[in-house]
């Protein structure tokens, strides 16, 4: 079945530490890939997206993500986490010609001082 | 003003009542969506519309209906609310496949 998997439900990191959030997808072709962030009480905001080309993409707020075709992964990274990064992060895929963004179940990030 | 505005932001309603959630957008996009968010389940698509005359069911449309009153307005109705429809509902819009989706701030609905 086609799916988007975020294996980590909740991650806790210390402020200043590095971060990696995992995302795997299972589709026949490479879809459009997105990471969205949801701050408490807010809607979702796009962090970055990948369509083609360079497999390392830069986003807002110092985030980056790397697409690895061989692993069907699109992991989100940040070298140094800030307290304001505490939020829920969603990986999403958009199949060419499809009518929907398919979301993962989300990873909640807690940042401790 | 926000790109996507949802009203109300919070609502408590009783089982069996009809309720409408409203969404308007200022992005000028043709495509609009209604999602439902439940803890541990991510966002799931309820309905989507590619233009005023095009309405389509998503993966969890049972118990819901929609109306696309104009390019900018897309309403979601629960004809007879039930407790398992308690959730956070999001409206979104985008310009097409592969483009950024813009989300409203959500409507937290509680059915008691």
Q: Assess contact for B44 and B31: CB atoms under 8 A.
A: no
Nearest by CB to residue B97, choosing from A9, A98, A106, is A98
**Nearest CA of chain A to the CA of B68: how many Å?**
17
Could you tell me if A60 and A88 are in contact, meaning their C-beta atoms sit under 8 angstroms apart?
no
Determine the pLDDT at residue A2: 62
pLDDT digit string, tens, across residues B79-102: 999 999 999 999 999 998 888 999
Burial of B89 (0-12, 13-18, 19+ CB in 10 A): buried
Predicted local distance difference test score (pLDDT) of residue A97: 58
Cβ–Cβ < 8 Å for A11, A27: no
Please report, for residues A40, B83, B84, B95, the alpha-carbon distance to residue A32 in angstroms, rounded to integers and kept in the order given. Answer: 26, 35, 32, 14
Q: Which residues of A touch B35 (CB under 8 A)?
A: 103
Contact state of A90 with B41 under an 8 Å Cβ cutoff: no
**pLDDT reported for residue B14:** 97
Give how far B58 is from chain A: nearest CA, Å.
8
pLDDT of residue A23 exceeding 70, the answer is yes
Position B96 scores a pLDDT of 86
Arithmetic mean of pLDDT, A42-64: 93
Please state whether B98 falls in left (phi above 0), alpha (psi between -120 and 50) or beta.
left
Instruction: Please determine, for residue A26, whether its predicted confidence score (pLDDT) is greater than 80.
Output: yes
CB pairs under 8 A between A and B: 59
* Three-state DSSP state, A60: helix
Bridge partners for B13 per DSSP: B111
Name residues 55-94 of chain A within 8 A of B (Cβ). Answer: 90, 94
Whether residue A96 is predicted with pLDDT greater than 70 in this model: the reply is no
A94 contacts B98? CB cut-off 8 A:
yes
Which residue of B98, B99, B108 to mutate against A (max A Cβ within 10 Å)? B98
Of A87-96, B8-17, B31-40, which range is least confident? A87-96
> Which one is predicted more confidently, B18 or B59?
B18
What secondary structure does DSSP assign to B1-62, as a single string? --SEEEE-SEEEE-TT--EEEEEEESS--SEEEEEEEETTTEEEEEEEEEETTEEEE-TT-T
Question: Which residues in chain A have Cβ-Cβ distances shorter than 8 Å to B106?
Answer: 41-43
The answer, for A104 touching chain B at a CB cutoff of 8 Å, is yes
């Amino acid at each position: 079945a086609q799916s988007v998997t975020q294996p980590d439900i909740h991650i806790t990191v210390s402020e200043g530490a590095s971060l990696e959030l995992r995302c795997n997808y299972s589709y026949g072709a490479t879809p459009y890939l997105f990471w969205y962030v949801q701050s408490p009480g807010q809607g979702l905001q796009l962090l970055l997206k990948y369509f083609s080309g360079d497999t390392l993409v830069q986003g807002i707020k110092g985030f980056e993500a790397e697409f690895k075709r061989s692993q069907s992964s699109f992991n989100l990274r940040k070298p140094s986490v800030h307290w304001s990064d505490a939020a829920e992060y969603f990986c999403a895929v958009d199949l060419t010609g499809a009518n929907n963004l398919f979301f993962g179940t989300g990873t909640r990030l807690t940042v401790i001082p | 003003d926000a790109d996507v505005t949802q009203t109300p932001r919070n609502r408590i309603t009783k089982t069996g009542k009809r309720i409408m959630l409203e969404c308007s957008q200022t992005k000028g996009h043709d495509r609009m969506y209604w999602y439902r968010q439940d803890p541990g389940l991510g966002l799931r698509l309820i309905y989507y519309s590619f233009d005023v005359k095009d309405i389509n069911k998503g993966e969890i449309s049972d118990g819901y209906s929609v109306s696309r009153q104009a390019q900018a307005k897309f309403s979601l109705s629960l004809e007879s609310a039930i407790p398992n429809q308690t959730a956070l509902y999001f409206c979104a819009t985008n310009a097409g496949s592969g483009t950024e989706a813009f989300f409203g701030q959500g409507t937290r609905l509680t059915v008691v």
